[in-house]
Amino acid sequence: MNRLRQALDPFLLLLIATVALASLLPARGQGARIAEGVADAGIVLLFFLHGAKLSRKAIWDGARAWRLHGATLATTFLLFPAMGWLLSRFGPVPGDMRAGLLFLTLLPSTVQSSIAFTAIARGNVAAAVVSASFSNLLGIVLTPLLVALLMQRSGGGSLVSLSAVEAIVAQLLLPFALGHMLRPWIGAFIERHRAMIGRVDRGSILLVVYAAFSAAVVEGLWHKVSQGELLALVALSVAMLSAILLCTYGLGRLIGLSREDAIVLQFCGSKKSLASGVPMAGVLFPAAAVGPILLPVMIFHQIQLMACAWLARRYGGRPASEGDAAMVKG
């Protein structure tokens, strides 16, 4: 029971509860409009806080360690999207899940869990902070660009319209830039109240998820997605994560990274950010499409946490001389 409790992310349980609430009591009519307005405000707040939390030093440090961070960014924004595009076009992906699976592969890396797993595995924690932060910073621009480039409407044309671009600027880029500009004045407050800020982050994400799944349920989401499709999505997520973990391990050896830096590449390069994916989906896609698009992101999120927690404990429990051998087998 304790192992099960450790494996399950408490925040994911809240997400599941939010999806269940939206499925049973979806917001409709005026309630839906209010929910969407509150969710939009939550997205603005979320990216304002992201900007306020990112130090300028992390940006400059990221520019210096070019081999490690370049490899992490290449894995996150080139290798993963190529895999997602091939699977969505030619793989055994259920039709309604194709857009969500591709969107998942276009997201930046996680921050908190990448750093935490690197620490457990006795990797280079400072480099993990820089790499994950750099990935999220660039993801604000690169993810919408990749969506515009790779994701198409069923009738042809990009899913990202001019209004979506304006929303990206207004709800993502401007709040992020404003938060970062105000960091000299509010940074100390953010650091002192990290726990409270974390709850605000999570609360904002839950609001977006409720609004998104309410709209999707009203449009008949659970009549369109079968149990077999969900199982297929789980299997594809496991296969993708396994492939990317092997690729990041091989890439680390190929470019001659130290064991500590190779661990950073493996954990920062293999994970996708639910915290970034939820608000970005809310901005980029029509309300009724957000729920189905977020399903693969939520499923992959839990699988990556369980797999990487096991892997980090395995690396961290061995002497450094045995760590490389463990990485070969793991």
CB 257 within 8 A of CB 124: no
pLDDT digits (tens, 9 = 90+) for 65-84: 788 989 999 999 999 999 99
Work out the average pLDDT over 284-311: 84
CB 135 within 8 A of CB 271: no
Residue 253 pLDDT: 92
What is the C-alpha separation between 207 and 213, in angstroms, rounded?
A: 10
Provide the residue ranges of all domains of the chain, joining segments of one domain with +: 10-329
DSSP string, 7-73: HS-HHHHHHHHHHHHHHHS---HHHHHHHHHHHHHHHHHHHHHHHHH--HHHHHHHHH-HHHHHHHH
AA letter at 107: L
Answer whether CATH 1.20.1530.20 is correct for domain 10-329: yes
43's tokens: 């997205």
Phi first, then psi: give them for residue 158, nearest 5 degrees: -75, 150
> pLDDT category, 129, cuts 50, 70, 90?
confident
- Which of 321, 322, 304, 318 is closest to 266 using CA atoms? 304
Q: Which residue has the higher pLDDT, 207 or 57?
A: 207
What are the distances in angstroms from CA 264 to CA 20, 70, 251, 304? 35, 12, 12, 15
Identify the sign of the CA torsion 203, 6, 302, 245.
positive
CB atoms within 10 A of CB 309: 17
Work out the average pLDDT over 296-301: 88
Average pLDDT, the chain: 81
CB atoms within 10 A of CB 37: 11
What is the C-alpha separation between 36 and 96, in angstroms, rounded?
A: 23
User: What's the pTM?
Assistant: 0.77
What is the C-alpha separation between 29 and 291, in angstroms, rounded?
A: 18
Least confident of 165-169, 220-224, 242-246: 165-169
What is the C-alpha separation between 207 and 209, in angstroms, rounded?
A: 5
What is the C-alpha separation between 92 and 162, in angstroms, rounded?
A: 32
98's tokens: 């194709």
